[in-house]
């Protein structure tokens, strides 16, 4: 079939297998061009198929020459429907890993479930013996508990209504968004889905089976952002979950587990596109950081993390267990210009002060579109196998 992007409600409902392969290829080439650690830390990545999770797995495999096991929840192609981008990314990852003689296997299923934890533990025991690093990069909208209870996360404020300018991604014009406060039940649900409970469950489940090495460490990813997004992010329901994530790292550290939370830079993801205010902020941020030569995408961020003490030595932290990869984003000169541009924005000067084209390019890249060297007019086989899943 000839695959074109179809965007609906901030989500692209199609993905291009060759474009996703190109995305993975380019990230691998970047990591190969950077310093290598080569400690072969046996790595498990929870949420391995897109965004920071995918880039983490690439850094482990090609930056550290590490065997990796990935866990993701993706859908293969079916009939006239393409597979998800994460499925194609993972298929490409395993293809390139095999070519370079790097161990890579993937488990597809609900990472919150005991069944997937048990299946992963069995694979670790059989193939790797133990793991040295667990990366927790799960981004899911809901979580089903063992008793059948389902928690669904929400993008809301806490306590007060919040109104701010935003970006209408469908029309590329400024608009105003109002976000209502969450109920206590919605806050709790968001924390249960996006907080640290499942991260700790993974570590506990593997530790009880003796699958963590003596020098084991784990990292999860977070975001803080600038004050202009605090009501909807840092102080909102997501922020409450991220604070729980950090508190979980502190708890695990007290229990003898080396645990970190890495606060990363704002990047375009499927979930961030749905958060009011955030796409507009990121479009301005991209403009400013590119002008200053400071812009990083996910693979550049993760490469900096891998080479900044996560694998060898100790990473630099601002408070115990918290790494700040958003340090360039939060520089006073960067945030000062972002605020200046924010205040000047109108529909007429939107492209002067915001990198709308850059935002959309990264959005389409998530789904395998807008890459050079890919013929999007050619017939393409939508069905692609992930070898370790298809066996």
Q: Where are the domains of the chain?
A: 7-140+190-270+295-326+368-390
How confident is the model at residue 232, as a pLDDT? 87
Which among 364, 344, 361 has a CA at the least distance from the CA of 353?
344
**Is 93 annotated to bind ligand?**
no
Which among 8, 18, 5 has a CA at the least distance from the CA of 384?
18
pTM comes to 0.96
**Is 47 annotated to bind ligand?**
yes
How confident is the model at residue 43, as a pLDDT? 98
Cα–Cα distance between 117 and 221 in angstroms, integer? 20
How confident is the model at residue 187, as a pLDDT? 97
**Is 274 annotated to bind ligand?**
no
The two structure tokens encoding residue 106: 């993937």
**Is 241 annotated to bind ligand?**
no
How confident is the model at residue 390, as a pLDDT? 61
**Is 369 annotated to bind ligand?**
no
Q: Which residues are catalytic?
A: 233
Secondary element (H or E) of residue 69: strand 68-72
**Is 220 annotated to bind ligand?**
no
**Is 110 annotated to bind ligand?**
yes
Which among 269, 276, 265 has a CA at the least distance from the CA of 231?
276
Per-residue pLDDT 10s for the chain (391 aa) are 999 999 886 789 999 999 999 999 999 999 999 999 999 999 999 999 999 999 999 999 999 999 999 999 999 999 999 999 999 999 999 999 999 999 999 999 999 999 999 999 999 999 999 999 999 999 889 999 989 999 999 999 998 999 999 888 778 889 998 999 999 999 999 999 999 999 999 999 999 999 999 999 999 999 999 998 899 889 999 999 999 999 999 999 999 999 999 999 999 987 777 787 888 999 999 999 999 999 999 999 999 999 999 999 999 999 999 999 999 999 999 999 999 999 999 999 999 999 999 999 999 999 999 999 999 999 999 999 999 986 5
Q: Which CATH number fits domain 7-140+190-270+295-326+368-390: 3.40.50.720, 3.40.640.10, 1.10.760.10, 3.10.20.30?
A: 3.40.50.720
**Is 108 annotated to bind ligand?**
no
**Is 223 annotated to bind ligand?**
yes
Three-state SS for 189-225 is HHHHHHCCHHHHHHHHHHHHCCCEEEEEEEEEEECCC
């Amino acid at each position: 079939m000839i695959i074109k992007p179809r965007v609906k409600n901030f989500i692209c409902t199609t993905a291009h297998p060759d474009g996703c392969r190109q995305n993975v290829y380019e990230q691998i080439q970047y990591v190969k061009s950077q310093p290598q650690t080569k400690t072969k830390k046996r790595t498990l990545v929870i949420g391995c198929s897109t965004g920071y999770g995918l880039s983490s797995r690439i850094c482990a495999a090609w930056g550290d020459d590490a065997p990796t096991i990935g866990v993701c929840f993706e859908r293969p192609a079916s009939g006239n429907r393409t597979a998800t981008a994460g499925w194609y990314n993972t298929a490409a990852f395993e293809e390139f890993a095999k070519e370079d003689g790097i161990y890579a296997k993937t488990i597809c299923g609900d990472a919150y479930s005991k069944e997937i934890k048990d299946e992963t533990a069995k694979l670790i025991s059989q193939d790797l013996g133990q793991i040295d690093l667990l990366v927790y990069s799960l981004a899911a909208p809901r979580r089903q508990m063992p008793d059948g209870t389902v928690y669904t996360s929400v993008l809301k404020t806490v306590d007060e209504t919040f109104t701010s300018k935003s970006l209408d991604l469908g029309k590329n014009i400024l608009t105003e968004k109002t976000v209502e406060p969450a109920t206590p039940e919605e806050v709790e649900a968001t924390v249960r889905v996006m907080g640290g409970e499942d991260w700790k469950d993974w570590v506990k489940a593997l530790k009880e089976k003796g699958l963590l090495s003596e020098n084991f460490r784990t990292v999860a990813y977070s975001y803080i952002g600038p004050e202009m997004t605090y009501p909807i992010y840092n102080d909102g329901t997501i922020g409450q979950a991220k604070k729980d994530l950090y508190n979980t790292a502190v708890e695990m550290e007290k229990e003898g587990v080396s645990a970190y939370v890495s606060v990363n830079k704002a990047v375009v993801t499927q979930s961030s596109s749905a958060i009011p205010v955030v796409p507009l902020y990121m479009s301005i941020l991209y403009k400013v950081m590119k002008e200053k030569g400071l812009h990083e995408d996910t693979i550049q961020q993760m490469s900096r993390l891998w080479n900044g003490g996560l694998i060898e030595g100790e990473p630099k932290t601002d408070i115990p267990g918290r790494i700040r990869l958003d340090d360039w984003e939060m520089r006073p000169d960067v945030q000062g210009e972002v605020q200046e541009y924010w205040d000047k924005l109108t529909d007429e000067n939107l492209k002067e002060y915001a990198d709308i084209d850059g935002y959309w390019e990264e959005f389409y890249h998530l789904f395998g579109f807008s890459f050079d060297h890919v013929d999007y007019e050619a017939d393409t086989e939508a069905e692609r196998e992930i070898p370790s899943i298809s066996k």
